[in-house]
Amino acid sequence: MKNRFSSIIFALVLTWASGSTARAEIAIGVSGPLGGEFGVFGEQMVAGAQLAVEDINAQGGVLGQALRLEAADDECETETAVAVANQMVGRDIRFMAGHFCFGPSIAASEVYAKAGIVQISPATTQPRYTDGRPGPGVFRLAPRDDAQGPVAAGFLADLFGGQRIAIVHDRSAYGKGLADAVKAELNSRDIREVLFQGIDVGADDYEGLVSTLQLQAADVLFFAGYHPEAAKIVRGIAGRGLDVRLMGTDALATDEFWLLAAEEGEGTLFTLPPDPRRLPEAQALLNRLPDTGPLPGPYVVKTYSAVQAWAEAVGRAGTTDLEPVGRVLAEASLASVMGPLAFDENGDVTLPDFDLFVWRDGSYAPF
């Protein structure tokens, strides 16, 4: 995957400030993977944060001060993320919109908490991120895996309960956790899977898995993993001429899936909260992305909303200090391009329930 941003390991890679009548500056950060198979998501995060800073500064900034954005590539690696977090502390940021992968988000949260920095992840779904949060300044705008799994299993039971269901994961904590939750919920409904196994990420193809699906006469495959592997799997299924429906999770809600899967991705199902990109304000935001920028994915909207929510909370608190800002985030309803945002006592966003989406003709829509 070609990366649109240059990246330097352990180094801040981008500083962005928009013109404003405000004199002083408040630094905020954004960090995620800016290269590799997850680079598209990090690019979306940076783009969303940039647009938010631009718009907030055009309206006078926060507490009469302009925002300055510091962005960094954490490579989706825990050690890199901790180094980035410490560098961000050195840059005196007051807020972090990040990280993307759960390991970096959890590890970096310790650094931010000790430094009194509020952190909102637009993407981390691992329950441990907020269940074990090191302080009251850790929040998320992403759904929890332990909420998504049972919902996905419910859709599988309703649509394919009488058919042969296979469950496959990518051996990551994200994928394995979701697969376990789906299996448990299906089994509680007396539905037994014909296959439950993990695959190795980054393989050239998954012909071995396809052969197993054929041998087990699977009708539907639930895959808990990311879009590169899902695309290879559906291409392998189509190449073998098998009639196996693929169903995934919110990780397939990216245009990169269709770019990799092409027409073989037709009919692929996945679970997702109501798509924030379909809201009028979000559509207007995405229309501002340059042609050479990232694809208009959901993490543009979610990261923009994270910055919005923090900025409004700071305005209400009258300070950037963690405890008062954290209280506002935990107790108030805050405006965003995603609609009103509220967080529970655990730091989890109270989003609407999941829905089922389907890929058709290069775009996805509610099933």
Do domains 12-143+278-331 and 146-272 share one topology? The answer is yes
Its sign, for the CA torsion 2, 129, 86, 329, is positive
CATH number of 146-272: 3.40.50.2300
For the stretch 108-123, pLDDT in tens is 999 999 999 999 999 9
| Interval 284-299 mean pLDDT | 84
**Per-residue pLDDT tens digits for 58-87:** 999 999 999 999 999 999 999 999 999 999
Q: What is the DSSP letter of 209?
A: H
296 vs 72, which has greater pLDDT? 72
Beta-strand relationship, 355-360 and 363-366: antiparallel
Residue 232 has pLDDT above 80, yes or no: yes
Summarised one tens digit per residue, pLDDT across range 146-184 is 889 999 999 999 999 999 999 999 999 889 999 999 999
Would you state the pLDDT for residue 231? 98
Q: What is the pTM of this model?
A: 0.82
Judged against a pLDDT cut of 50, whether residue 10 lies above it is answered with no
pLDDT for the residue numbered 72: 98
Alpha helix (H) residue ranges in 91-226: 102-115, 128-131, 145-160, 173-188, 207-215
Distance CA 47, CA 50 (A): 5
Q: What are phi and psi of 5, to 5 degrees?
A: -120, 135
The strand pairing partners of 302, in sequence order, are: none
Residue-level pLDDT at 283:
86
| pLDDT the model gives residue 275 | 76
> 91-111 burial, b for 16+ CB within 10 Å, e for fewer?
eebbbbbbbbbbbbbbbbbbb
Residue 278: predicted pLDDT: 78
CATH number of 12-143+278-331: 3.40.50.2300
pLDDT of residue 23: 59
Please tell me the predicted confidence (pLDDT) of residue 351. 78
Q: Where are the domains of the chain?
A: 12-143+278-331, 146-272
The mean pLDDT of 338-356, rounded to a whole number, is 91
Please state the φ and ψ torsions of residue 340, each to the nearest 5 degrees.
-60, 135
